[in-house]
Structure 1
Amino acid sequence: MLCCTTSATSTPLALYARSLARQVEEVEAVPMTVPMYVVSMEQLLKMTEVRPHERLLAEGIVVEFRDNMGKALFVSHQWVGTQHPDPEGTQLRVLQQALRFAMSEIKYIPLDFVTELSIPSAKGLPAAALLSNPVFVWYDYFSCPQLEGMQQEDPPSGRNGPRLTLADAISSIPTYIAACSFFVALCPIIQLPQQSQVLSPGTWAARGWCAVERTCRELSRDESWIMVKSPTHLELVLGKRSTAYGGPPGEGKFTVPEDADKLAPVLSNAVHRKLLDLLRAQDFVSYRVLLNLRPVYLRGLRVEDTCQVVPGFHEDAGSLYSLAVQRFFFQNGFTAVDETDKGGWSPLHYAALSGDTDSVRGLLAQRADPNCKTKKDMPQVEIPSSTSPLSICVLHNHNEAARVLIAARAWVDGRSGVVDPALTTAAEANNAEGIRILCHAGCSPHLKNSLGISALQSACASGCLAAVEQLVAQAGETVDLSGTLGCAMLYRGDNADLVFRLAEMRADVNEPTNMASEPPVVRLWVKLKGLQYKLGSATTSARVFYHAPGATPLFLAMLTAQYTGAAALIALGARLDTRNARGWTAADFTRGPEGQSVPEFLRTAFRDRSRIECQRVAGSACTDGYVEHSF
């Protein structure tokens, strides 16, 4: 069926959007109803310990933020202790050093490797942005009440209303993040020997609170955020790809499970406000993306399943599936199943994004093509053109909707997507059940995408252990482990459990990257990026691809600052002296001024040839503790 572009301007959605645009727009996207307390950058850089809000407020170090003061920076971090976020000031020192480094040693904060590859139009953050205006820092222990029972100071002069409470601060997190020009995820490697635990970017991403903060940033006007892995390793991250740095907040870990219930309405309201903002701006493509992503954002939280943003829907007589399509068209602004919007997506693509099986069934009943491909890249969710509804379904763990599409003869093999075939996206999403469904329907577990990346390599690149186990089970004795550790350390597979499991299956911990085995387009791309690096390009991809030929997994882990993975590889006996095609060794990343920010357990391993500390760290980073391997 041919797809036609929608030009409807009188749908209920379009009319409602115009009515919103005519309304007087508020000064702020999210009203500031409670004070936002911050500390100045100058005060932050002077601190030697992390003290609570009440103490800093009494001393006048914490102040209420107002727009005319400058710019605000939000710090998201995982608490080191149970009663105190940073008892020894370890995270504080990393934050201070990283900010000084960004403001004095580099011209811009580079994009992280995956962002740069998936969003070609994205740019790094000029370091001058941190210097152009005074910067004030929001940090939970500084900015929210912490000491129960302590009498708080009176509200600042000239402000009427109640004092800030912790409950107020929690409900205002989206407001605070919306008011911030910068968002920093502070997640250096920190060893906690007493708890036999290691904090890392992976543990930060798994925390429910941190996931809420990250999601609120994605819903703000500027969705970019800075990941601080070490005092000298900062990366700018963009995009809403559901697999990027953790899943939905409701699937995150909460020390107090009831906290998820407190955060559910906060996040739901943030999504609703963003939807109205997009309608007011008449950005219908972004609106449709977010509307249908809403079930993904709120998965695992106790909130209503339906979201009726556009008022006035009245059901006509019809079957359940026909009514579902009516409701879907009304809220999404479509009028026919064969429309394609300005984003290059059809109604079935958006229904697949939402996972609503009734809408999918209804659209298929009205002869929607189950294999209709997207016509354009969708940067809002980093989904490329020529992606099928089935790939979109399994990427977001909508497995019931995937079954409906497969029953309607959706392609399960490589025809389901050029860059993102369904099996690859299911692997990237750690969707083990989706992988099982696809393989049961006839998809080969050895399927590769157009870039020559296998589903197993894709799972490793995202650190998805459940997907790895399912793919290995489906492949049986024919499983091909080549390139798996390299992909894990090159992208976002910094997972000690994954490294140990792959090694247990006999993946080669010293396997060098082999450019000769890559497709011609990949070899050409690597050469081009290497040339750019030689000519002075400081982008992450230029640096990575310059060093990638002949690099071992350990070399790649050091290159991309995936330090728990590096510890696991060293614990497994990875060679420390292997050189890449440029003549570099992994130890070279521990030398020079920037090398001082590499964790001490790695510097010790390279300097003293001692693997003991890496074994301890790797063991602590594993879910079940370190299991000794011998090969």
Structure 2
Amino acid sequence: MEAAPVERHEQLAPMWVVHMQNLLKMKCLQNHQELRKAGLIVECQATFLSIFVSHQWLGKGHPDKTGAQFKILQEALANIIDGFTKIELDLPMQFTGETTVLSSANREQLRNAYVWFDWFSIPQIEVKSGGNDSEEMSSHVFLSVQSIPFYVDSCKLFLALVPTLPHNDFEDVSCNYCTWLDRGWCRPEIWCNLLSHNREAPMILVRDADQAEFAMPIHWVHSSAQEGNFAVESDREKVAQVMRTAFRSKLASLKGNREQVDLFRYLAAVQYRLLQLPRPSLSLESFVDHFGFEKPELTASQGMVPLACAVLSEDLEMVERLVTQYSAQLDVRLPGIAEVGLTRGRTPLHLAAMTGGPMVRQLLQLRADPNGCNTVGMSALGYSRSCEAVEVFLEQQADVNYTAPPGGLTPLAVASLFCAPTPVVQLLIRRRADVNHRGYGGAAAPLTCLAVPADGNPCLAEQVRCLVAGRADVNLCGEPTGALRVFELACRATSCIRTQSSLERIFAEISTTPLGFACLLGREPLVQLLLEQRADPEIRNNRGHAALELAKRDTVQLLLQNFQLAPKGVSV
């Protein structure tokens, strides 16, 4: 593959940043004009290690009147730099062998990094500043906002500041990770980060001063940026233009890069759906050129193979041609792509489940195994993103409760783990998915699996109610067997002799209830929901730990203590 010319986002205004040490010393959140007057804001240079901070404003005229959000940012950054907070990949990625972490060397570099934050990096119109009339200021602000994709692309780290905090202007309204994900201008920031040329690590998600992790792409990777919630409808087309530029630029930079060929082919396949553009009809020759294959690679069995590219781009005719004329393997195991949340070992049918019913039907008619599993034993049915895909699987004799070694979850548990839409969860239950099946290794039922992506799941409450209405046992303990039991014991044994990954810490406690699991992960909203559904906080796991002992965060401990002190029948 030959590299193509790279189109970059435009910089229409200077990129102003604050040195990390100055940010950590601020007594309060200051605006751009105040920091310029104090000489604490500088124009970003190419040699700087810069961090882009994305956040949701807590008020209409001011992002953070009380300073609560900014204080969390300061404390979180200090905790990350000092190593108090460890930053790791999400659990599904770790379970399939991915091990990306923010190293001590990375943390040390952050001490002298520079931070872009909209309130102090963009001049504020409402703040009077001598020498600038309102028209000139408005123009500068407009150009700065238009330059945000460039600013994201210029930063080496993207941090999403998403603590749960009350809105400053509206009573009974909270801002959190889910509301941030829904913001119209948030989504292009996320995608511009993925499509950046300078990104060195996945997006870091800060939920609280002591709670930060690499974000799970499943919360946003299936969503088109222009489908977000916009206050100004005309912004939707502006975002569409930004996204088209970002995709063209990233694909041009990746084309010819053999080290990132899998990511290139994934993005080249999904771009039309995400950009809401019609998919071009490709001949075999243009298909080969579009994805950077050589003709002998049409029968490849490693990497993001042609069949996977045809599935992701929803090209039914190409799928049939590759299978019937070139004997493409239907059960080929695909690589993981951490940037987009693609865990390693899936088959083309797993990818088809994410695209919809027509592609699932096509592969099953070509004799794909409806119960074919990935490397950890999870069948494709659970990865379905639509009811149509579920119906096609079941019509073709997929087992709604299928699991396989070494630790396969049921389709319903997988749907819970990967944030499937609620109608998919409801349909699986109606079609007799076992709501209390713990999977092949006996470790995790669907209600337990909900805890992993809980903070980014906008449908969490209705899915909990849906499972409980289907007779899910809120007090069901994990009972690991076989390889998972061995792994549990190994994790318990090593917990006293070395620092463990989050996956190891969780497997050491895997025999707990859904409530215990939610407490262990610090998923406060799920803890509340489970307590409302009469979950028992006194049940102990194989290590003798109950929910309160598993809760590491003060807010979760307080919630449990208040529940235990409250009179029976009184909600906390």
Coarse TM-score class (shorter-chain normalised): 0.7 to 0.9
Partner Cα distance (1:485, 1:297) in 2: 30
The alpha-carbon distance between structure 1 residues 511 and 97, as it changes in their structure 2 partners (threshold 3 A), is: same
2:380 aligned residue? 422
2:386 aligned residue? 431
Answer yes or no: is 1:475 the counterpart of 2:448. no
Identity, % of aligned pairs? 26
Partner Cα distance (1:216, 1:394) in 2: 26
Map 1:35-184 to 2 at 5 A: 35-68=14-47, 70-104=48-82, 106=84, 108-126=86-104, 129-131=107-109, 133-147=111-125, 165-184=140-159
1:311 aligned residue? none
Q: Residues 338 and 368 of structure 1 are in contact (CA less than 8 Å); yes or no, is this contact kept in structure 2?
A: no
- Pairwise CA RMSD of aligned residues? 3.6
Map 1:11-30 to 2 at 5 A: 14=1, 16-17=2-3
- Structure 2 residue runs of 5 or longer lacking an equivalent are 439-444
The alpha-carbon distance between structure 1 residues 529 and 294, as it changes in their structure 2 partners (threshold 3 A), is: farther
Answer yes or no: is 1:207 the counterpart of 2:183. yes
Q: Residues 571 and 612 of structure 1 are in contact (CA less than 8 Å); yes or no, is this contact kept in structure 2?
A: no
Of 181, 187, 190, the residue aligned with 2:165 is: 190
Q: Residues 49 and 88 of structure 1 are in contact (CA less than 8 Å); yes or no, is this contact kept in structure 2?
A: no
Answer yes or no: is 1:560 the counterpart of 2:521. yes
- Structure 1 residue runs of 5 or longer lacking an equivalent are 1-13, 156-160, 308-319, 616-631
- CA drift of 1:92 comes to 1.2
Q: State TM-score, norm by structure 2.
A: 0.84
The alpha-carbon distance between structure 1 residues 107 and 553, as it changes in their structure 2 partners (threshold 3 A), is: closer
Which digits, 9 at most, give the CA deviation of each residue in 1:122-168, with x for residues without a partner? 2333276245652222112222344269668679xxxxx99973443
- CA drift of 1:363 comes to 3.5
Aligned letter for 1:324? Answer: S
Answer yes or no: is 1:447 the counterpart of 2:406. no
Partner Cα distance (1:202, 1:612) in 2: 30
- CA drift of 1:380 comes to 5.4
Answer yes or no: is 1:288 the counterpart of 2:265. yes
Partner Cα distance (1:358, 1:455) in 2: 28
Partner Cα distance (2:67, 2:557) in 1: 17
Map 1:293-332 to 2 at 5 A: 293-299=270-276, 304-305=277-278, 323-332=282-291
- CA drift of 1:472 comes to 1.1
Answer yes or no: is 1:391 the counterpart of 2:331. no
What count of residue pairs does the alignment treat as equivalent? 555
- CA drift of 1:217 comes to 1.9
Which digits, 9 at most, give the CA deviation of each residue in 1:570-591, with x for residues without a partner? 222322333332233322356x
The alpha-carbon distance between structure 1 residues 557 and 527, as it changes in their structure 2 partners (threshold 3 A), is: same
The alpha-carbon distance between structure 1 residues 578 and 244, as it changes in their structure 2 partners (threshold 3 A), is: farther
- CA drift of 1:116 comes to 2.3
1:3 aligned residue? none
Q: Residues 348 and 368 of structure 1 are in contact (CA less than 8 Å); yes or no, is this contact kept in structure 2?
A: no
Q: Residues 481 and 507 of structure 1 are in contact (CA less than 8 Å); yes or no, is this contact kept in structure 2?
A: no
Aligned residue for 1:43, secondary structure, equals helix
Partner Cα distance (1:100, 1:610) in 2: 40
Which digits, 9 at most, give the CA deviation of each residue in 1:178-214, with x for residues without a partner? 3223221212222459543433333333434333222
Map 1:579-618 to 2 at 5 A: 579-588=540-549, 595-596=553-554, 598=555, 602=559, 605=562, 608-609=565-566, 615=572
Aligned residue for 2:159, secondary structure, equals strand
Q: Residues 558 and 566 of structure 1 are in contact (CA less than 8 Å); yes or no, is this contact kept in structure 2?
A: yes
- CA drift of 1:73 comes to 1.5
Partner Cα distance (2:318, 2:563) in 1: 57
1:531 aligned residue? 493
1:8 aligned residue? none
The alpha-carbon distance between structure 1 residues 542 and 415, as it changes in their structure 2 partners (threshold 3 A), is: closer
Partner Cα distance (2:558, 2:469) in 1: 23
Map 1:215-614 to 2 at 5 A: 215-220=191-196, 221-237=199-215, 242=218, 247-279=223-255, 281-283=257-259, 284-299=261-276, 304-305=277-278, 323-336=282-295, 339-340=298-299, 343-364=302-323, 366-369=325-328, 371-374=330-333, 376-379=335-338, 381=340, 383=342, 387-395=346-354, 397-414=355-372, 419-426=377-384, 430-450=385-405, 451-464=407-420, 465-475=422-432, 480=436, 483-490=445-452, 492=454, 495-516=460-481, 520-549=482-511, 551-588=512-549, 595-596=553-554, 598=555, 602=559, 605=562, 608-609=565-566
Q: Residues 149 and 242 of structure 2 are in contact (CA less than 8 Å); yes or no, is this contact kept in structure 1?
A: yes
Partner Cα distance (1:250, 1:410) in 2: 34
